[in-house]
Amino acid sequence: MSVINMARNIKEIHPKFLICFKYGSFYNTYGKDAYITNYLFHYKMNKVENDIPLCGFPKKALPKVMAKLEEKKINYMTIDTRNNYDVDDKVDNKNLNTYDALYKKANKYVKTSKKLENITNKLMDQIEDERLSEKIEKIEKIVYES
């Protein structure tokens, strides 16, 4: 069974847990969990099969990630893919879990970041356009007026 399928199965059972899958010398998070990981730690987000978001981080960063998740009261699990998907760590904050609230913030953050990245790329494509500086001035005026 692929990691993606296993992630789906585990998320059905534990929908309010951020699940980190140990894969070699990295940990990967998928779907909503990838949004939260990207939002909290600014690790790069990619897409895998069927356009599913993926966010990974090095194994040595796990203590920092776990500390932040505990600080933010987010339920999490770490799972070893090479050891029959055994759970290495599990923290359950019960009623204090902030997974849903943080996902809402993360979703907004990721979508806004993507829009800004697209705007930046579009402007960079127009780098030789004589009117580019006018466009940038308009953007600056809007951004800095508040």
64-119 per-position pLDDT tens digit: 999 999 999 999 999 999 888 899 999 999 999 999 999 999 999 999 999 999 99
pLDDT of residue 50: 84
pLDDT of residue 49: 81
Token reading at 87 = 């759970």
Q: Is 33 exposed, middle or buried (0-12, 13-18, 19+ CB in 10 A)?
A: buried
Given a cut of 80, whether residue 146 has pLDDT beyond it is no
Distance, in Å, from the CA atom of 75 to the CA atom of 77, rounded to the nearest integer, reads 7
Give residue-wise pLDDT tens across range 39-63. Answer: 999 999 999 888 999 999 999 999 9
pLDDT of residue 1: 56
Do 112 and 88 contact (CB within 8 A), yes or no?
no
Q: Compute the average pLDDT of residues 126-134.
A: 94
Do 57 and 18 contact (CB within 8 A), yes or no?
no
Listed residue (61, 84, 73) closest to 18, CA to CA: 73
pLDDT of residue 52: 94
Domains of the chain: 1-146 (3.40.1170.10)
Residue 24 CB coordination number (10 Å): 9
